[in-house]
Each structure stands twice: as C-alpha cells, then as structure tokens.
C-alpha cells in the first residue's frame, strides 16, 4: 500500500470529474475523510452503470466487504477533482478496485483507496459468478486501454 503515493494518472483507465462542494469541507477546511468513500462509490458505480450494464434493479448486486484509503495531501472546496479507477484483482464473483483522487491538473494523487465488491443475487444475498457483461466491463480496467472519461 505504501507505493500508492508513486502512482500517476497514467496508472488509471477510467476517470470521473467531481466538483467539490462547500459541504464537503470539515471544520479544518479540507475535504472530510468520509467524503472520499462517497467519491469511491460514485466512480465505481458510474463505471458499472455506463460500461457493465448494471441498473438499480439488476438481479445481481455488489456488496462491499472491505475498504481502505491512504491520504497524501489535503483537498478542499472549491477544487475540482479527477477520480481515477482501475481493477487490481478480478475473481469469479469478486473484484477489488483502486481509486486515486487527483486535484484537477495534477499528476500525483492526493489520496488512493479502494474496496472489494462481492457480487451476490439480489434476493438471496448469496455469492454468484459475475455476468458476462459485468466481467467483460471490469476486465477492461485490467488492461492498458485508452482512458475513458465521464463527468459527475
């Protein structure tokens, strides 16, 4: 995990832009640590919806089973952030994402974190192998494909 500081934009394959809000700041005038997990959720779910066919009523859903974040430099309103996403591990029913939070225009991350999703059947909550469309989309984040852009 200590090598995360050395990552750059080129290590990530999908990006989502985020304009910080006044409410994102805490009493110390920087983005509160809890907001980073909202950012992680936003970039991951944007990718799953846009590139993997996931919908709010999909039969299969992802449950977070672990998460982490490492902070390197503070961010605050009114900065614009770029959220970089990649997949670091892809199993038959689980995926581990890594997300880097960049200040717009900067090449090194202010924070790097991520989480692991286990995909389950919506009703039973039992683990199930990923659908082909989901697996294909997530696999694209393991490669060196051209960067994909989106806006939040």
pTM tops 0.85: yes
Give the contacts of 7 (CB within 8 A, at least 6 positions apart): 100, 108, 109, 112
Tokens of 88: 């670091």
Q: Give the pLDDT score at 67.
A: 97
- State mean pLDDT over 79-88: 97
Of all residues in the chain, the percent with pLDDT exceeding 90 is: 88
Tokens of 2: 């200590």
From 10, 11, 18, 12, select the one nearest 150 (Cα to Cα): 18
> Does residue 149 have a pLDDT over 60?
no
> Does residue 126 have a pLDDT over 90?
yes
């Amino acid at each position: 995990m200590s090598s995360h500081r050395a990552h750059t934009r080129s290590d990530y394959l999908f990006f989502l832009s985020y304009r910080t809000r006044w409410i994102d700041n805490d009493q110390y005038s920087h983005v509160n640590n809890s907001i980073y997990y909202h950012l992680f959720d936003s970039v991951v779910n944007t990718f799953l919806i846009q590139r993997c066919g996931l919908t709010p009523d999909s039969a299969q859903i992802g449950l977070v089973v672990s998460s982490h974040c490492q902070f390197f430099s503070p961010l605050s309103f009114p900065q614009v952030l770029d959220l970089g996403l990649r997949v670091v591990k892809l199993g038959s029913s689980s995926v581990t994402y890594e997300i880097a939070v960049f200040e717009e225009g900067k090449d090194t991350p202010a924070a790097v974190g991520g989480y692991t999703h286990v995909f389950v059947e919506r009703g039973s909550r039992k683990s199930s192998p990923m659908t082909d469309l989901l697996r294909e989309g997530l696999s694209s984040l393991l490669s060196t494909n051209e960067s994909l852009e989106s806006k939040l």
